[in-house]
Structure 1
Amino acid sequence: MTNKYSSSDNCPFLLEPAGKDYLWGGTRLKTEFGKQIDINPLAETWECSTHKDGLSVVASGKFKGRTLQAILRENPDFMGKHANNNGELPILIKFIDAFKNLSVQVHPNDKYAKEYENGQLGKSEMWYVLDAAPDAELIYGFYHDITKEQLKKSLDEGTVEKYLQKVKIHKNDTFFIEAGTVHAICKGALIAEIQENSNLTYRLFDYNRTDKNGKKRELHIDKALNVVNLKGSANPRQPMRTLKYRQGVATELISRCKYFQVWRYIINTECTRQLVNFESSENTFNVLLCIEGCGIIFLNNGETLNFFKGDCIFVPANASEIKIHGKGQLLVVGC
């Protein structure tokens, strides 16, 4: 079906991401998620972003070719209760392809970032595991309490890994990484990340790697030591999740915190004429991230929008009612 667009301003629209070529990335975002970005490796795609370090661009409809940030500044009602943010979304959504281990790192909280990083937001984040190699794992906190002096010494001596808690991961797992938690995504993981709108990362350890120019990447040990939670972390267990079924769709809440909520929609309307009603969050925008399959969005004015695996769709807060037909899975993010 061909996409059709009218002059309506508040229709959902596709986004085109910014890409990042960090040294640990791979090729799966290109080969499996259809990302046509001419950089190699393609480590991350910033799917829905108003952050200056990687702006998303509108890829369909009336606003095609312009940055999401610019459109939201001109149309603050698209953001609902966040309309006074001058076009800055409170969240940032990414795909991450970890072909190699990411650095061991920590993020500051809002209070520290505001005071010491020129008023920026801190960074709490949630990971949804799209796929994982049989031996894939992540680093989540410390096995037991550690002092700042012990941590500093282990970083100086290159022995910090013995303190880091490693957790096996599997497809469909979810993890919430609160600011201050030492962490790392390890090789073999494909992740969807929903986070605060921040790019503040303090690297503690980077396996003594060098970049394409032969230089070691910068570490931020002093800042990291100021914000890291030194308490031992409980082994993160998967939360109880309940699928709710209705004709053509099953839904589940997979993460909720003060910054965002994330649902998973499993859609299958191939054998029914009943389209799925999309129930948006109250008085706020929503973001739809297609993680499997494909489908069509129908608006009540007769417009349609096709989406495929890897696509990201912004739904304005004042959008008209939409219905969905297809077979696949969506992460639905609101805040």
Structure 2
Amino acid sequence: MYPLKFNPILKERLWGGTKLKDVLGKDIPNDITGESWEISTVPGDISVVSNGDLAGTSLQELIDKNSEAVLGKSVVERFGKEFPILIKFIDAKQDLSIQLHPNDELAKERHNSFGKTEMWYIMDADEAASLIVGFNKNVSKQEYTKSLEDDSLLDLLNYENVKEGDTFFINTGKIHAIGAGVLLAEIQQTSDVTYRVFDFNRRDKNGNLRELHTEQALDAIDYEKKDDFKVDYDREKDIVNDMVACPYFTTNYIDLTKNMEQDISNRDSFTIYMCVGGSATIENKFGSASIQKGETVLVSADSKKVLLKTNGAKLLEVTI
């Protein structure tokens, strides 16, 4: 298959804003648009091809018809005919709720779902914008529970100021929140299971408090203080820089000033390119697709070589 682009699935969120339009050029439906799901097979939110002869075809249809060609044999053996990751851009005009995600075992037992390991690449951040990632000290379950009761949870949390290019790896169980003024690219396991533990007592447009998952979260939280989240990666130009490698996805950073040809014949996996700066054309022997900042392309596993054509582009390259 030629490199595939998909119609973004745009999500209204209580905390959303307009950066998906203002910075990434997306045609958002309103000024509280918080997420653009770029590649998804989450039931009810399945991506549809937007370019070429396959336009109008869903990603799930393509996988069902020829799963190994799209995903790769090893990926099918692990995950079956389900696309194993979910690709998003997120705009937080307001702070997101403080939350965490269960691991695979808990998610399977409780929700018949994968867990949700994820990573964030900061694309744009207002001055003094920050994230919450983990605790600022080791916390007992009793101390955590008491902080919910006396409204002091924020005192236990670790805050990280951020700027463009900063990257964070969020393993399951780690309490976290995206702060106001942050626009980021998110790569995660295919899962929409979130345990919300604090939401700043906000109300939705109907005046209702959003549901909290206090009890479910208690056995899912990692209460230890860990400094394992900030990703230190090289940013050399015109080479592939290792960024994140975990059992669920591998992400590389590529800052191009000129064309690059890649031999991907030994991957046995699809490859995703998220454009986080500039523009490029992604080409294989079956065709090509042009992308600019805020767009995403999927290259199927049956591709042996890819030509990245550009005068300047920053790409996140994602495989399994």
TM-score (norm 1): 0.89
Partners in 2 of 1:219 and 1:90 — Cα distance? 27
Aligned equivalent of 1:242, options 227, 231, 234: 234
Asked if the contact 1:12–1:319 (Cα under 8 Å) also holds between the matched residues in 2, the reply is no
| Structure 2 counterparts to residues 54-93 of structure 1, below 5 A | 54-77=45-68, 78-80=70-72, 81-84=74-77, 85-93=79-87
5+ residue gaps, structure 2: none
Q: Which amino acid aligns with 1:93?
A: I
Q: Which residue of 2 aligns with 1:51?
A: 42
Q: Deviation digits for residues 300-324 of structure 1, max 9, x if unmatched?
A: 36x3322222111110000252212
Q: Secondary structure of the residue that 1:24 maps to in structure 2?
A: strand
Partners in 2 of 1:262 and 1:316 — Cα distance? 16
Q: Which residue of 2 aligns with 1:272?
A: none
Aligned equivalent of 2:243, options 254, 274, 277: 254
Aligned equivalent of 1:323, options 304, 307, 312: 307
| Structure 2 counterparts to residues 1-335 of structure 1, below 5 A | 10-77=1-68, 78-80=70-72, 81-84=74-77, 85-117=79-111, 119-234=112-227, 236-239=229-232, 241-245=233-237, 249-269=238-258, 275-280=259-264, 282-300=267-285, 303-326=287-310, 327-335=312-320
- Larger CA deviation: 207-216 vs 57-66: 57-66
**C-alpha displacement of 1:15:** 1.4
Percent same amino acid among aligned pairs? 36
Q: Secondary structure of the residue that 2:16 maps to in structure 1?
A: coil
Residue 243 to residue 138, structure 1, CA distance change in 2 (3 Å): closer
CA RMSD of aligned residues (A): 1.7
Partners in 1 of 2:199 and 2:276 — Cα distance? 30
Partners in 2 of 1:231 and 1:321 — Cα distance? 44
Partners in 1 of 2:54 and 2:66 — Cα distance? 11
- Larger CA deviation: 149-158 vs 285-294: 149-158
Q: Which amino acid aligns with 2:97?
A: S
Q: Deviation digits for residues 131-174 of structure 1, max 9, x if unmatched?
A: 21220111111111222222122112221101111111121111
Q: Which amino acid aligns with 2:51?
A: S
5+ residue gaps, structure 1: 1-9, 270-274
Q: Which amino acid aligns with 2:106?
A: Y
Q: Secondary structure of the residue that 1:82 maps to in structure 2?
A: helix
**C-alpha displacement of 1:87:** 3.2
**C-alpha displacement of 1:243:** 4.0
Asked if the contact 1:30–1:42 (Cα under 8 Å) also holds between the matched residues in 2, the reply is no
Q: Which residue of 2 aligns with 1:6?
A: none
Q: Which residue of 2 aligns with 1:5?
A: none
